[in-house]
Structure 1
Amino acid sequence: MNADIDGPVWVPTLPPSFEQLLAPNLQPIPLLPAIALLLATAYTIGAIRLWMQGRRWSVIRTICFLIGCTLLAVVTGAGIEGYGYELFSVFMFQQLTLMMVVPPLLILGSPGTLLLRATPHGGLGRTTLRVALGALRSPAARLAVHPATVIPLAALSYLGLYLTGAADVLLRTWIGHVGLEIAFLCIGILVATPLISADPLPRRTSFVFRVVDTFAEMQIHAILGLVLMLTHTPIIPFFATIPESWNIDPAIDQSAAGILAWTYGELPLLIILIVTLSRWERRDTRQATTMQALNDAELDEYNEYLRRLSPDTTQPTPTHSDGASSASAPPEARPHSKAQHE
């Protein structure tokens, strides 16, 4: 058992089970559950404020955000948190949830848009809006959501953390453990925001880079999963001291962590990829329809202009039996059909 963890930590003694993992065993300092509760409360107040003013706000967005807050509280506040100090597979589940599941749910709630709509425009609210808009338009914000930033961050949070020995050092202290969880959540938000956010952003990532970003992250998960599954000795010494009474082999537990990285971690990315490709196709279809409508309107205007150039606008242009225009009208003054124009 990892009894040498530095800091206020509750460590379980019973073997892991579904009931024990979900039991409400809060840590002595439940920092992340408190953050989840604060976020859910602030969001709910904002949504209720809009509804009381008779302004529309999506119930679906609200549900998504509150589910994300609930998952954040459970994965860091229930027994899962304690078992994350003992089992690599549980800690990997926590990391993947904090990076791949919670952030998309929070982002789908459009908290930035809610902040702009629900915050009062006077007093402290005015200051809050100025700070929020200033941060949104800052060069740091543009850099934070750039693919050149988010892809290396995703690689460091997986490969860099576990293959360099950094995890073994950080996980031995309460500050390091909780600091990693906060970092996972923040990196997950930075990675997912350019891909799915409908909020105002300092820059919009093209669909090409969104697809490249998603594929790159999928490869990172696959590489980490293979390394963990194919390595038969513990990569993280911190997770090599599982209580003997639990009858869990550290190598098997590490392999389970690799399976989670390759399956549970890939599924959200696959969904994001499908949604991204669907949005890309709809965007191109709308643009093509708009351009066709503009071309048709320009052609109609051009044909009308040619009709006004005709010597006699009161009489219809004579046509031959085959529908062709009479030769009396000059070729340059004959109306063009859309098929000819194209």
Structure 2
Amino acid sequence: MDGMTGMHHHGELGPFSLHAVLTWSPDWPFLLGSLLAFGLYVAGVVRLARRGDRWPIGRMVAFTFGVLTIVAITCSGLNDYGMALFSAHMIQHMVLSMLSPILLLLGAPITLALRALRPAGKGRPRGARELLVALLHSRYVKVISHPAFTIPLFIASLYGLYFTPLFDTLMQSRIGHLAMMVHFLGVGLLFFWPIMGVDPGPHRPGHVMRIIELFMGMPFHAFFGVAVMMATTPLVTTFNAAMAPPGTDLMADQKLAGGITWAFGEIPTAVVLIALVFQWAKSEQRQATRKDRAAERDGDAELVAYNAYLASLEKRGNRPAQAG
């Protein structure tokens, strides 16, 4: 156990306290990833500002807090305790899968990217913007962002992880732990993407449907929390007496983990509902601008098709006779 990477602070963990949690203990992949995401976001906002476009300050604030929540739970003492205590791990899981994604999505990063990336000029190969648009319209994204996929995935990553040996297997390696954390964030982003709906995506259900989707996932989440609270035996072997801070009651800690899960479900539900009500109120005025944008987009699509047609003719070598 001692030889394991990432477990070098084994035995040194003191009691689980706020002070211990607030110590700086960077997890480099997460820190660098967060800084990169934030840097790109700011660069996008700056590019829009230079062009004279306004980007809502609220989105910038939401995205910034989203990035901060990720850094706070992966680069602090909480991450060290997350290796040794079920309750600490559960806080990480809940924030990464249910709080960070909502804040990041409220920042509308896809919309920002689509506005900030310059379209490839006439006759040029497809640039980043065109690839992003193509990806958004791809069958792959249609499938992975469909509620029939995201809701079961959201549920399975709770039950499938902790009620099978999978969790213990992943926790044995640094890479496994990292992959699991990235998975939590990814699943959360996918689950809330169709619901939060600031960004364009293949599935844009109406506001009522979004609320239904939100509430479809939550009972399973609450029930999972209750199941963990009521379990009379340890669910996972990773969190054992050897790993835990001295004097830890492992069953009490597991009950606490279940309680955290159960209670945490209420936070995103409240945040999402408030956000949805605001979006709903704004969507009326937005529909008008959307119609204008759709007209522009159709124009773009025709231009792209025409450019492709000209390029294909040039390849064949029989250029069309110049008009005029």
Q: Judge same fold: TM > 0.5, yes or no.
A: yes
Q: Which residue of 2 aligns with 1:270?
A: 270
Amino acid at match of 2:33: I
Rounded to whole Å, the distance in 2 between the matches of 1:158 and 1:244 is 22
Alignment correspondent of 1:44: 42
1:68-79 map, 5 Å: 68-79=66-77
Offset from partner CA, 1:113-152 (integer Å, 9 cap, x none): 1111111234899610111011000011111111100111
| Equivalent in the alignment of 1:300 | none
- How many residue pairs are counted as aligned between the two chains? 283
Q: Does 1:165 align with 2:171?
A: no
The secondary structure found in structure 2 opposite 1:229 is helix
RMSD over equivalenced CA pairs, Å: 2.5
Following superposition, which runs of at least 4 residues in structure 1 exceed 4 angstroms of deviation? 122-126, 242-245, 277-284
Instruction: State how far apart, in whole Å, the 2-side matches of 1:242 and 1:266 are.
Output: 33
- 1:276 to partner: Cα distance: 3.7
* Partner deviation per Cα, 1:275-297 (whole Å, 9 max, x = no partner): 4467568879x99xxxxxxxxxx
- Residues 197 and 204 in structure 2, CA contact (< 8 A), matched pair in contact too: no
Q: For residues 279 and 59 of structure 1, what CA distance do their matches in structure 2 show? A: 16
Post-superposition shift, 1:98?
Answer: 0.4
Q: Which residue of 1 aligns with 2:296?
A: none
- Offset of 1:164 from its aligned partner? 1.7
1:265 & 1:276 partners in 2: Cα distance?
A: 17
Q: Which whole-Å CA distance do the structure 1 matches of 2:2 and 2:91 have between them?
A: 22
Letter in 1 for 2:83: Y
Q: Equivalent residue for 1:241?
A: 241
Q: How does 1:30-69 map to 2 (within 5 A)?
A: 30-69=28-67
Residue 3 (structure 1) aligns with: 2
Q: In the alignment, what sits opposite 2:211?
A: 211
Give the 3 Å change call, closer, same or farther, for CA 213–233 of structure 1 in structure 2: same
Letter in 2 for 1:188: G
Q: Where does residue 297 of structure 2 map in the other structure?
A: none
**Contact (CA 8 Å) 1:11, 1:83: kept in 2 or not?**
no
Identity of aligned residues (%): 32
Task: State the distance in 1 between where 2:3 and 2:236 align.
Answer: 15
Q: CA distance change for structure 1 residues 164 and 197 in 2, over 3 Å: closer, same or farther?
A: same
| Stretches of structure 2 lacking an aligned partner (at least 5 in a row) | 288-324
For 1:60-86, what per-residue CA distance to the aligned partner results, in whole angstroms no more than 9, with x for missing partners?
111111111111112111111111100
Aligned partners of 1:190, 1:125: CA distance in 2, in Å? 30
Name structure 1 gaps, 5 residues minimum: 288-342
- AA partner of residue 61 (structure 1): R
Larger RCO (CA under 8 A, 6+ residues apart)? 2
SS class of match (1:195) = helix
Once residues 228 and 6 of structure 2 are traced to their aligned partners in structure 1, the CA distance between those partners, rounded to angstroms, is: 30
Change (3 A) 1:184 1:244: closer
Aligned to 1:95: 93
Tell me: CA distance 1:179–1:125, structure 2 relative to 1, closer, same or farther (3 Å). Answer: farther
* 8 A Cα contact 1:104 1:196, kept in partner: yes
Distance 1:170 1:245, change over 3 A: closer
Q: Distance in 1 between the 2:240 and 2:210 partners? A: 38
CA pair 195-244 structure 1, distance change in 2 beyond 3 A: closer
Indicate the residue corresponding to 1:201 in structure 2. Answer: 201
Q: Give the distance between the partners of 2:22 and 2:268, measured in 1 at CA.
A: 22
Distance in structure 2 (CA, Å) of the matches to 1:144 and 1:244 = 37
Native 8 Å contact 1:159 1:220 kept in 2: no
Q: Which has the larger radius of gyration?
A: 1
TM-score for the superposition, normalised by structure 1: 0.76
The letter of the residue matching 1:54 is: G
